[in-house]
A and B are shown apart, each in its own frame.
Chain A
Amino acid sequence: EADIYQTPRYLVIGTGKKITLECSQTMGHDKMYWYQQDPGMELHLIHYSYGVNSTEKGDLSSESTVSRIRTEHFPLTLESARPSHTSQYLCASSVGQINQPQHFGDGTRLSIL
């Protein structure tokens, strides 16, 4: 059983608010990832991290930012939420070996009114 946690599970909030989506893992994995997914659609990588103090942009451009101050924690922040940010956000972590899967949290379903 993978130990990666995302909070909140659901968030409905108004336009212009600052939002932080939390992601924590207890497996000691170096690599962590954020994906954005619209309902029934494919996952798009928006951010990833190799380890502490490392953050990189993913394949899909995003107005969100991330930080990695501790190995276990990889929060995602939206400074000013807009309706176009409405989506599901999935956090994942893994070790570096090619044969090891990424372990996912349960996701945050974000709805901006």
Chain B
Amino acid sequence: AQKITQTQPGMFVQEKEAVTLDCTYDTSDPSYGLFWYKQPSSGEMIFLIYQGSYDQQNATEGRYSLNFQKARKSANLVISASQLGDSAMYFCAMRTIKAAGNKLTFGGGTRVLVKP
């Protein structure tokens, strides 16, 4: 079975500072992908960044980067230079090659509030 754990229910971050959101995962499948989504208060889910289990490099997308530590089964999201618009819920998710329907397993989310 697949499991995603996000241990930080909520965080405050000062505008222009960096913030790290924790994500640990558990799977017995050797091939898997890890995703981060942002959900603003309006409710839509916005895809941010992807990391594959066989990727040698940590993924980066603009101000988003992923600190992937395979041996520790962690995939932490780093948001650099936080902006007020970054205030949202952030979800870590995993998809494995064996999962029925290629479905995603989501963590419980972390709420980020950026302070001016």
Contact = CB atoms under 8 A, between A and B. Distances in A.
A40 B109 contact: yes
B102 A96 contact: yes
Contacts of B35: 101-102
Contact residues on B (Cβ < 8 Å of other chain), bracket: 20 to 34
Interface stretch (A17-25, A42-50, A65-73, A75-83): A42-50
Contact of A42 (B42, B44, B91, B101): B91
Given A33-B103, A48-B101, A40 B111 contact: yes
Contact of B97 (A58, A98, A104): A98
A69 B52 CA distance: 33
A3 interface: no
B102 A104 contact: no
A41 interface: yes
Contacts of B96: 98
A58 B101 CA distance: 10
Interface residues of A, number: 28
Nearest to B42: A106
Contacts of B37: 104
A99 B52 contact: yes
Nearest to A49: B101
A91 B46 CA distance: 13
A50 B95 CA distance: 15
Contact of A101 (B50, B97, B107, B109): B50
A104 B52 CA distance: 20
Interface in A61-113: 88, 90, 92, 94, 96, 98-99, 101-107, 109
Interface of B: 31-33, 35, 37, 42-47, 50, 52, 89, 91, 95-97, 100-104, 106-109, 111
25 contacts: A33-B103, A40-B89, A40-B111, A42-B91, A42-B107, A42-B108, A43-B91, A43-B106, A49-B101, A56-B101, A92-B45, A96-B102, A98-B31, A98-B52, A98-B95, A98-B102, A99-B50, A101-B50, A102-B35, A102-B47, A103-B47, A105-B44, A106-B42, A106-B43, A109-B43
